[in-house]
Amino acid sequence: RDDFVTCRHKKFGDDFKWGTATASYQVEGGWNEGGRSRSIWDDFVEIPGRIDNGDTGQVADDFYHKYPQDVAMMQKLGIKNFRMSFSWSRLLPQGSSDKFNQQGVDFYNNVIDALLAAGIEPWVTLYHWDLPKVYNDQTDQGGWLNRNMIDRFNDYADFCFKTFGSKVKKWITFNEPQSFTWLAYGLGIHAPGRCSSYQADHCLKDGGGGNTQTEPYITSHIVILAHAKAVQTYKQVYQATQKGEIGMDVASAFYLPSDQDNQDDIDACDTKMTFEYGFYVDPLVFGDYPDKMKNLISDNRLLTFTDDEKKMIKGSFDFLGVNHYYSKYIQYTGKVGRDYGDDPRAEQNDYNKTGHLIGPYADSNWLTIYPEGFRGLLNWIDKRYSHPKIYVFENGVSVPGESKAPLLTALKDQFRINYYKDYILNMEKAISEDGVDVRGYFAWALMDNFEWTNGLGVRFGMVYVDYQNSQTRYVKNSGLWYSQLIQSNTIPDYNPNLKFIEEAK
C-alpha cells in the first residue's frame, strides 16, 4: 500500500508529545494502604455480578509498590510523557482538603519525582472515576447529583495545584464525563450503579429505573460546572506562576451513515457526535450546550446555565482532549431508543444497510476497528471548534483471545501493532494533509490493567501484566514498536505479511 511506503518518511514535529496513559483505580492497587479511604469503585466491585469474574482493582497492577520499576521501564522504552490520575481518596480521605493524607501526598510526590528524574513529563488527570465514598454516602443527594460537588471538586483541584503544581504542568480535570455519567447514572453499569434511563434487573434494587434519562443530564451539568470552576481557580491563582496548562478529556467515537445516500442518516452522524463530544466541549468553547441538544432533549431534562455560569464555562480550557477507539454506523430512526446516547433518535450499528461490518472486532464487544474514523473525528473537532489545539489522551485496543493466550503468544501482539499503526497513520494524515492541530498522542495503555466492568479479563496494555505471578511485567511487541516510533518520531515500517485490517475488510 502506498500509505505505508510513504509513511515511514513522514516525521512528526519535534515537539510532538508521545506518551502512554493509565488511571489510578485501574493500576494502583494498594486500596487499603497508605491512609487511602474507600472510593465508589471499592464498593461497586464488591457487589456480586457487577464485574466479570468477580475481579477487583484492590491489587490491579500494584503500581502503588511497583512504580519505580514502571518508571525505569518507560525510560528504557524512551517514553517521554506519562498520563496518570490521582486517587482523590488517597490524597483527601475525607474528601475535603482540611484533612489531607501526608502518605498520599508523599506517594504522588515520589511518583512525580521519579518520572521527572527519568526525563518523563507527568500529565495528571484529577478525576478518572474514583470518587471518595464519603461524597456518595450522604443523606441528601449523593455523588455527582449534588451541586455541592462543584465546590468539593474545586477544593480538591486547588489542593492538587497548590501541592503538586510546581512540578506538574499538564492538568486534565475529568476523564470522559459521558462515561461516568451515562454508565454510572444512566445504565447503572459503572459505580455508583444508578439507573435512570431504563429498567434492567440490576437496576431495580438501586431504586432507579423507569424515569427517562434524568440523572445523566444532572450529573453532566454539575461536572461541567465543576470543571469550569477548577479551571478558573487554576487560571486565577496558579497559572501565572506555575505556567502550566489545563483542559478536559472527552471521548468520542466516529459515526458513518448506515445508508450513505440517506440525508437523515448523514445528519444523524453529526448529531451523534454533537451529543457525545459537543455535549461537553461546546459549553467550554461556546459557553452553552449545542442547539441540537436543546432542541432534541424532551421534558427539560437538559439543564440550563445561568449567564454567570456561561461566562465561567466559556473558554475554560487551554487545549481540547479526546479519547478515541472505534467507529459505528448510524441509522436514523426518528424514535427515541434505550441505549445511552439515545436522544439523537438514531441507532448505532456495527453493520451498515448492506450488511457490511464496519471493521474487525477487538476483544471488547464495543470496539470495532476503523482507522479512518480517527481522521474523520479529528477533522470534525477541528472544524466545529475552529482549529483548536488537540491532545489525543487515549487510543488503543484489546486483542481477541489475548487474555486466555499463553504469555509468549500474548507478547506477539501484531494485531495491536497494526491497530496503532493504522490509527496513528490516520492521525498523521489529519495533521499533515488536513492541517488539524494535534500536539500529542497517548496510547491506552502503558500496561494491562483493571478494565472496569471487564475486570482483569480484557487487556489493553503495551506491557503484559502477569496477574498470577506477582504482577510481573513483560513488554509486548507493541511496546517495542511504539518505542521505535517515539525514538524515530516516524511510523515504523509496515509489515506486509500482517495485513489484518485489509484482510478483514
Does 251 bind ligand GBH (CB under 6 A)? Our answer is: yes
Task: Give dist(CA 16, CA 196) in Å, integer.
Answer: 42
| Nearest distance in Å: CB 163, ligand GBH | 24
What is the rounded distance in angstroms from the CA atom of residue 56 to the CA atom of residue 455?
Answer: 6
Rounded Cα distance, 282 and 290, in Å: 6
Q: How many CB atoms lie within 10 A of CB 474?
A: 16
Q: Rule CB under 6 A: say whether 366 interacts with ligand GBH.
A: yes
Assign 356 to helix, strand or coil. coil
Please state, as a whole number, how many other Cβ atoms lie within 10 Å of the Cβ of residue 14: 6
Strands 319-323 and 254-257: unpaired
Cell numbers for 295: 432542541
Question: Pick from 15, 5, 11: which is nearest to 428 by CA?
Answer: 11
Q: Tell whether residue 394 is a contact of ligand GBH (CB under 6 A).
A: yes
Most distant pair of Cα atoms in the chain: their distance: 62
Closest distance of CB 458 from ligand GBH, Å: 7
Among residues 39, 68, 71, the alpha carbon closest in space to that of 56 is found at 39
Shorter beta-carbon distance to ligand GBH: residue 277 or 325: 325
Would you say 58 or 490 has its CB closer to ligand GBH?
58
42 binds ligand GBH (CB under 6 A): no
Torsion, Cα 437 500 256 361, to 10 degrees, reads: -110
Query: Does 176 sit near ligand GBH (CB under 6 A)?
Result: yes
Contact code string over 439-468 relative to ligand GBH, x by CB under 6 A: -----x------x--------x--------
Stretch near ligand GBH under the rule CB under 6 A, chosen from 174-182, 221-229, 232-240, 327-335? 174-182
Does 55 engage in binding with ligand GBH (CB under 6 A)? no
**Rounded distance between C-alpha atoms, residue 260 and residue 467, angstroms:** 46
**Piece of 72-80, 172-180, 200-208, 405-413 that binds ligand GBH (CB under 6 A):** 172-180
Nearer to ligand GBH, 7 or 463 (CB): 463
Distance CA 478, CA 473 (A): 14
In the bound state with ligand GBH, the residue whose beta carbon lies nearer, of 197 and 242, is: 197
The reply to whether 428 belongs to the active site is no
- The rounded distance, in Å, linking the Cα atoms of 425 and 102 is 44
Lookup: cell for 47: 457487589
Least distance from ligand GBH to the Cβ atom of residue 307, Å = 33
Q: Which of 37, 125, 136, 179 binds ligand GBH (CB under 6 A)?
A: 179
Options 323, 352, 426, 483; binder of ligand GBH; rule CB under 6 A: 323
Q: Which residue is nearest to ligand GBH (CB)?
A: 366
Q: Which of 28, 121, 309, 394 is catalytic?
A: 394
CB nearer to ligand GBH: pick between 269 and 397: 397
Per CB under 6 A, does 422 bind ligand GBH?
no
Cβ atoms of residues 248 and 322 within 8 Å = no
Q: Residue 89, interface with ligand GBH (CB under 6 A)? A: no
Grid cell in block for residue 462? 503495551
Q: Tell me, what amino acid is at 167?
A: K
Residue closer to ligand GBH, measured from CB, 291 or 339: 339
Note if 33 is an active site residue.
no
The answer to whether residue 374 forms part of the interface with ligand GBH (CB under 6 A) is no
Alpha-carbon gap, residue 108 to 160, rounded angstroms? 10
Q: Please identify which of the residues 176, 215, 276, 402 carries the catalytic annotation.
A: 176
User: Which of 255, 460 has the CB closer to ligand GBH?
Assistant: 460
Kindly report the length of the chain: 505
Residues that bind ligand GBH (CB under 6 A): 23, 26, 175-176, 179, 189, 251, 323, 325, 366, 394, 444, 451, 460
Residues involved in catalysis: 176, 394
